[in-house]
Amino acid sequence: MKCQVVAPLALIVAFGLALSACDSRPAHREIGRVSSPDKALDALIAERKVDATVATPIEVFIVRAGQGVSGEPVFRADEVIRPALKWDAERQLTIQAESARIFLYRNEVEAMEGGAGSVKIRLEIRHLETR
């Protein structure tokens, strides 16, 4: 009788694990948001949950005002100390930090479909990690 109950239960657990592995997009936790001067866009910083024993990377996204994490990041780094975002103009963002180990950086990105134009992105990192 126990075998008849355990086998279907094991199949359900295995199926659940397989389904959870299908979503390959990493989960994010928003840790900061700054609106552009015209309030049309937001720049947001999010921690990328990687479920690994490595430093937790942060990513920066440019999104429509009020929108959550979406699209491709414009910046990704780990070992970031005191990250900050600052809009210098309606379409110019500066990413600041005391130090960071950078994996991805795009210096310009199309803000969104619909004609908002591109956003120029500058870095102000005092100490860059190299490994």
Q: Which residues pair with 47 in a beta bridge?
A: 29, 58
Read off the pLDDT of residues 61-114 as tens digits, 9 standing for 90 and up: 999 999 999 899 999 999 999 999 999 999 999 999 999 999 999 999 987 655
Residue 6 lies inside a defined structural domain of this protein: no
User: What's this model's pTM, rounded to 2 decimal places?
Assistant: 0.76
**DSSP string covering 19-59:** HHHH--SPEEEEEEEEE-TTSSEEEEEEEEE--SSSPPPEE
Give residue 114's domain range: 26-128
Residue 3 lies inside a defined structural domain of this protein: no
Residue 4 lies inside a defined structural domain of this protein: no
Residue 90 lies inside a defined structural domain of this protein: yes
Residue 17 lies inside a defined structural domain of this protein: no
The structural domain count of the chain equals 1
